[in-house]
Amino acid sequence: MTVQDPVKARVLLDPYRDWAEGEGIPIHLDFGHDLLSLETGPWERYGARGCFAHTHGMGDFMANYVLEVPPGGKTRPIRHLYEVFCFVLAGYGSTMVWHADGTTSTFEWGPKALFAIPLNCKYQIFNAQGAEPVRLSCTNDAPITINLYHNLNFVFDNPFDFPERVGAAGYFEGEGEHISFASSEKAVVQNLWETNFVHDLTSFKLYELEARGKGSSNVMFVLADGTMHAHVSAIPKGRYKKAHRHAAGTHVHAVDGEGYTLLWFEGDSEFKQIPWKHGFMYTPPFWMFHQHFNTSPQPARYLACSLGSRRYPFISLRRKSAEGLFAQSVSQGGRQIEYEEQDPRVHRKWLEAIKETGVPSEMGEVFDEPAILALPQDRLTGVIQQPTTTGPSV
């Protein structure tokens, strides 16, 4: 018996997909994207231009779209019941946010700034330049919000206000509060900054996080008292991070520096490689190992946005991260591969890459680099070896 269209219309629905397809702007789908070069189209909802930058690893909760405001232009005022973090890819401008009491906050930004729109606040974005467009990368939890309520009027025309999400008066001026915590004596110390706006991710203060790699540093954000998480990490010159894996939907943006990221599932025979420079964004699929490599003569920073903040972890995997177990080795039931456990091809590939850029290795205290370079080719093929692992318990 053939299923008729009326029946098909009542099962296996995806309201977020239907909404995205109905917005009339380009939808790009890939493992990752160069957000600065994606084609955009007129977006009536914003009165500007935009496109969806969907990825194979976006998962069920998170998504990304690019918003482009023409020279001297502005968006329409808009509000929505999903959270959004805006990372400035290019250009200078400002944002006006309306509060529940009728007052407004306006703040100016430039390239590599990050800001959050408090939940369901009306806001408007302005391009301060007369010659060049502005591009913003907007990471959001619209998929879970639209799929949960499956009513666009409720999501986009809801008058309910959340004044507690706005935060302190200076949060839209770049002021904030530093929070340092560890969930237990053995847990990694984590450093958070609570605010709504960060002027420049390239110069913002980071804190030592040696557990993710020697010389590694990091700061995590609580933005607009939200359920979404963001953090910025830096990789020193001549070094790279340890491999790790986590839930789907973490949108990783290269902020500065150059290099690459390797990705693989346990048991794969080959790595997938993503280039690393400002404008590139990708999302590792669920439980796919990934590892970040700096090949430039200066530190390289990246921004990662995902569902589940340190304040509101939301899902069990994120709660384990908030408890400090994100840097525990897979051989101990965690999700990180320690340097001494990684496949020799990883370090060999990086040594060859930095030789081309003229950057000396700073990792000789960890690896016997002459021995790795001398390995015969038959030792550098086959299945990617990993330490014994457990399932996704953390």
Annotate the chain with three-state secondary structure.
Answer: CCCCHHHHCCCCCCHHHHHHHHCCCCEEEECEEECCCCCCEEECCCCEEEEEEEECCCCCCCEEEEEEECCCCECCCECCCCCEEEEEEECCEEEEEECCCCCEEEEEECCCCEEEECCCCCEEEEECCCCCCEEEEEEECHHHHHHHHCCHHHHHCCCCCCHHHCCCHHHHHCCCEEEEECCCCCCCCEEEEEECEECCCCCCCCEECHHHCCCCEEEEEEECCCCEEEEEEEECCCCECCEECCCCCCEEEECCCCEEEEEECCCCCCCEEEEECCCEEECCCCCCEEEEEECCCCCEEEEEEEECCCCCCCCHHHHHHHCCHHHCEHHHCCCEECHHHCCHHHHHHHHHHHHHHCCCCCCCCCCCHHHHHCCCHHHCCCCCCCCCCCCCCC
CATH architecture type of domain 18-164: Sandwich (2.60)
Euclidean distance between the first and the last CA atom of the chain, given in angstroms as a whole number: 45
Say whether pLDDT at 22 is over 70. yes
Q: How many CB atoms lie within 10 A of CB 168?
A: 13
- Tens of pLDDT, residues 350-365: 999 999 999 999 999 9
Of the ranges 53-57, 277-281, 385-389, which one carries the lowest mean pLDDT score?
Answer: 385-389
- Average pLDDT score over residue span 48-52: 98
Residue 182: pLDDT band with limits 50, 70, 90: confident
Q: Which CATH number fits domain 171-339: 3.40.50.11720, 3.40.50.10480, 2.40.10.410, 2.60.120.10?
A: 2.60.120.10
Residue 294 is encoded by which pair of tokens?
Answer: 């700096």
Say whether pLDDT at 394 is over 50. no
Question: Looking at per-residue confidence, does 284 or 212 come out higher?
Answer: 284
What is the model's pLDDT at position 274?
92
Beta bridge partners of 243: 337
Say whether pLDDT at 168 is over 80. yes
Residue 111 is encoded by which pair of tokens?
Answer: 């390239």
What is the share, in percent, of the chain residues with pLDDT greater than 70? 92
- Average pLDDT score over residue span 36-51: 98
What is the model's pLDDT at position 26?
98
Say whether pLDDT at 254 is over 70. yes
Kindly report the pTM of this predicted structure.
Answer: 0.92
- CATH 2.60.120.10 in the chain: give the residue spans: 18-164, 171-339
CA count, 13 A, side-chain hemisphere, 380? 13
Say whether pLDDT at 122 is over 60. yes
Question: For residues 64 and 53, is the Cβ–Cβ distance under 8 A?
Answer: yes
- Tens of pLDDT, residues 63-106: 999 999 999 999 999 999 999 999 999 999 999 999 999 999 99
Question: For residues 306 and 229, is the Cβ–Cβ distance under 8 A?
Answer: yes
What is the model's pLDDT at position 392?
47
